[in-house]
Amino acid sequence: MVFSSLYFLLSFLPVFLLFYYLSPVKWKNATALLASLYFYAWGAPSFIFIIFTSLIIDYYMVRLAALSEGKKRKRLLALTIVLDVGILAVGKYLNFGVDNLNVVAALFGSEGIRMARIALPIGISFITFQKISYVLDCYHGRTRPLDNLFDYALYILLFPQLIAGPIVRFNEVALQLPAENRPLSHDVLMEGLLRFLIGLSKKVLLANALGEVVDAAFELPAGELGMLSSWVVIVAYAFQIYFDFSGYSDMAIGLALMMGFRFPENFNFPYISQSITEFWRRWHITLSRWMRDYLYIPLGGNRVSTARLYFNLSTVFLLSGLWHGAAWNFVIWGGYHGLFLILDRLFLRGWLQRIGKAPAMVLTFVIVLIGWVFFRSPSLAYSMAYLGQLFSFQGGEMAVFASHRFWFTFGLGALFSFMGVFQVVESRASRWYENTTPLRQLALKLACSLALGWLCLAEIYASGFNPFIYFKF
């Protein structure tokens, strides 16, 4: 089920909120869990049994580990993580592995392996990271194991973040799981609703409009667009993926807030970054922190030799690329970002600081754009041809950009992507809002909510184009 679908907006969400707010405190978690199970089963009914079974095993393995000591405790930890990663590996990477083995086999004249394609469980990457977060937080004593299986199920399956994040670590919501710790009010409901509608607007009014043109461009044979058109398309894709994913994160944060949960932020104007290091502090923040705390630091972090540090960075970002998708494009995208993080430490960040903020921001954005070519291209060969066109100094097809709507949306995308630079305007607007009366604040929230809601519903009715990029991860 997609947040921007009419069924979710006009049926599932209002019915759920009605039952959730009318339920007694002791039944709110049960209401949320049942709604989450229905939400997941709507799109993948067969996978819910796999996810729930592994969830039950995790829960009892962690409780057993908490009662154990020494090597037995470590073995239980290892077994639990192997189980979780194993489900991810089979569901997401087995097809990729077999395909690559078959390529190698063909080089030696062998027939290769024949097997049925395994369907990818929806949201498996995000679910796995949250499960590992719980296991490791309990093992290292950052929190104690839950006493209630259904509270753990709610943490893993809570529908706002179930499909595409943010990645909510257990210690960030452990104290919020008891329903009595999540007081509800009309202020909380309005704040959550407005945040949800802002995210929906990013997705429906910006990302979808840009995505139609980007998809049409990438369906053309590699090299047909020409240099200028290729740059326009990849910039449009940069805006599309930002508003698609940050919009989903805003919707998830808003939905959770309407239920009383406070989720961590996931984006902070990443395209105003002045280095790749800064970019990863602003882009998919919850993934960056997860990789840092559960992978990079256990590998030694910064407390190792220079050579080992660079190895750790490369490993983390190669795995980050593979986490995004089972294809060499994603692996190269991850390695590309890892390389620039190493270059940042060697000399690049210092040089960018010396040339000034605006040039550093532009150059960092160009580096990110080149990376997006690998991320978006349907194949590695296509991405290499596309990169060639970016620097070809050749003309090409421009008809794909004939729409005034595209250029208007493109301009809005640029404005909202880079508006973080204008902090003075933002701070003045915040001060003005805080100094108004509560009644005016409520009226402003209602007016914005009604306007955004009406615009989004009108666009959804008018357009059938409504994918979410990160759903496939």
Active site (catalytic) residues: 324
pLDDT in tens, 413-457: 999 999 887 765 566 666 766 777 777 777 888 888 889 999 999
How many secondary structure helices (H) and strands (E) does the chain include? 23, 0
Contact (Cβ atoms closer than 8 angstroms) between residue 331 and residue 318: yes
User: Counting beta carbons within 10 angstroms of the beta carbon of residue 189, is it exposed (0 to 12), middle (13 to 18) or buried (19 or more)?
Assistant: middle
- Please give the pLDDT value at position 374: 97
- Please give the pLDDT value at position 394: 72
pTM of the complete model beyond 0.85: yes
DSSP string covering 53-115: HHHHHHHHHHHHHHT--HHHHHHHHHHHHHHHHHHHIIIIIHHHHHHHHHHHHHHTT------
| DSSP percent split of the chain into helix, strand, coil, nearest 5 | 75, 0, 25
Residues with pLDDT less than 70, the chain: 115-120, 395-402, 423-430, 432-433, 464-467, 470-473
- Please give the pLDDT value at position 90: 84
Measure the CA–CA gap between 433 and 441, rounded to whole angstroms.
7
Contact (Cβ atoms closer than 8 angstroms) between residue 213 and residue 406: yes
pLDDT in tens, 355-401: 999 999 999 999 999 999 999 999 999 999 999 999 887 766 555 56
Measure the CA–CA gap between 270 and 417, rounded to whole angstroms.
8
Longest dimension (CA), the chain: 77
DSSP 325: -
